[in-house]
Amino acid sequence: MIHLRLLDLDGTDISHLPESIGSLQNLQILNLQRCKSLHRLPLATTQLCNLRRLGLAGTPINQVPKGIGRLKFLNDLEGFPIGGGNDNTKIQDGWNLEELAYLPQLRQLGMIKLERGTPRSSTDPFLLTEKKHLKVLNLDCTEQTDEAYSEENARNIEKIFEKLTPPHNLEDLFVGNFFGCRFPTWLGCTHLSSVKSVILVDCKSCVHLPPIGQLPNLKYLRINGASAITKIGPEFVGCWEGNLRSTEAVAFPKLEMLIFKEMPNWEEWSFVEEEEVQEEEAAAAAKEGGEDGIAASKQKGEEAPSPTPRSSWLLPCLKQLQLVECPKLRALPPQLGQQATNLKKLFIRDTRYLKTVEDLPFLSGCLLVERCEGLERISNLPQVRELRAGGCPNLRHVEELGGLEQLWLSKNMQKISSLWVPGLEEQHRQLHGDEHKLEVNE
């Protein structure tokens, strides 16, 4: 089979590969994903000099041949197991991080078991910075089940990640099971100028999110299982060092989708410091009606709009926001309603303490609220066209939804919704006439 280019064994029960695989000198793709019984690669793997892709994701590969750097044309390497390595053996317990230096063509790289690596000395060049073709990078540690990682291990993994500075051309970044207490400094600075997607999963020891609001091309951001986070504040937006009020500074300038999931201890969410909020409210109120305006604004309990210099500084392209399993979150930041002018979908599931969803004048598509036990009020969403509600036993007030066209209610909402459905139907009738009735569905 000397002309074979592709060998795909994805999901098979093979337990080993023969050394004769080294004869397949024209092989370009060797796909061994999800081979649950395969724990070792043959020595001859390093003879596959034309290999472009080696897929090991989801496979418990541990014993690997030394010298993967001989595969100069490798551009897609997933499930790359990291180990301490051993200079005296041909087969080693995972590859050294240093061996990445000999793979200049990498376009996609996924590393696992990063906690087994050793930080390189500071005098050595960075491992990934010069890889000018690298677009996709997955960095995974092993989830600890029996006992927590020690402080020493946590410091070690922080040093390892610090040395994995990606190149400027990176587009997709995934970080999983990182157990350090602080994210690497390169995550969040403008160094990642080309990144479009960032996914952080089960980074359970970090008490602050990285300052990624300044990434100029970020479109998709998902944060799962950050269980140490109790507060998300201005640090998430990025430090502007006194430039916070600049008209040119825009946070998350291209972000279209933002997802927070499984954040069991997250309570507070803001984009600016409390003093700034008060200053903004005072400035806006003074502009509108002097001191009387401030008093009136406070009496009504309304959020004053941001003054002109900050009119579009936050989330201008956000289309969809999902908050799932964030039980302790108490409120949405007011800036969301003032700034996210392109918001079309807002999904909120499994929150216990969130009492209101209100003052989102730009939300124009669908609002879904599900299993939100503490939710009491939905109001001032003039453009929302579709509302889906289920498992919200205390939702007693739903009003000022002038653009609503469809209402979907689960069976357990029938009784409580009788308090406000007639009001919505009447508002709809007044605005649109009798020929266009509000569509109410179960």
**Segment 29-77, tens digit of pLDDT:** 999 999 999 999 999 999 999 999 999 999 999 899 999 999 999 999 9
Inside any domain, residue 303: no
Domain of residue 202 covers 157-239+248-272+313-343
Tell me how far apart the alpha carbons of residues 427 and 404 are, in angstroms, rounded to a whole number.
10
List CB contacts of 411: < 8 A, sequence separation 6 or more: 442
Inside any domain, residue 348: no
- Among residues 43, 77, 112, which one ends one of the domains? 112
| Domain match, 176 and 258 both | yes
Average pLDDT, the chain: 87
pLDDT at 289 over 70: no
Two structure tokens written together for 58: 């989801």
| Domain match, 384 and 261 both | no
| Domain match, 172 and 215 both | yes
| Domain match, 207 and 327 both | yes
| Domain match, 100 and 39 both | yes
| Domain match, 337 and 218 both | yes
| Domain match, 101 and 196 both | no
| Domain match, 367 and 262 both | no
| Domain match, 364 and 323 both | no
Tell me how far apart the alpha carbons of residues 385 and 370 are, in angstroms, rounded to a whole number.
17
| Domain match, 178 and 104 both | no
Inside any domain, residue 125: no
Two structure tokens written together for 374: 């503490």
Q: Per mean pLDDT, which range of 3-17, 186-200, 207-221, 230-244 is the poorest?
A: 230-244
The domain that contains 36 carries what CATH number?
Answer: 3.80.10.10
β-strand pairing of 231-232 with 220-224: unpaired
Inside any domain, residue 188: yes
- The per-residue b/e assignment along 366-379, b for 16 or more CB within 10 angstroms, e otherwise, is bbbbbbbebbebbe
Q: Sorting pLDDT into bands at 50, 70 and 90, what band is 149? A: confident
Q: Could you read off the pLDDT of 343-374 as tens digits, one per residue?
A: 999 999 999 999 999 999 999 999 999 999 99
pLDDT at 297 over 80: no
Task: Give the per-residue pLDDT at 411.
Answer: 92
CA-wise closest residue to 53 among 12, 20, 5, 2: 5
- Among residues 112, 138, 171, which one ends one of the domains? 112
Inside any domain, residue 291: no
Inside any domain, residue 140: no
Q: Sorting pLDDT into bands at 50, 70 and 90, what band is 248? A: low
pLDDT at 28 over 70: yes
Inside any domain, residue 283: no
83 sits in the region (left: phi over 0; alpha: psi -120 to 50; else beta) called beta
Inside any domain, residue 286: no
CA distances to 243, 281, 304, 308 from 313, rounded to whole Å, are 12, 16, 16, 10
| Domain match, 168 and 59 both | no
Q: Sorting pLDDT into bands at 50, 70 and 90, what band is 290? A: very low
β-strand pairing of 345-349 with 268-269: unpaired
Task: Give the per-residue pLDDT at 432.
Answer: 82
CA-wise closest residue to 215 among 181, 242, 253: 253
pTM of the model: 0.88
227 sits in the region (left: phi over 0; alpha: psi -120 to 50; else beta) called alpha
| Domain match, 72 and 29 both | yes
How many structural domains is the chain composed of?
Answer: 3
CA distances to 222, 381, 392 from 371, rounded to whole Å, are 21, 20, 6
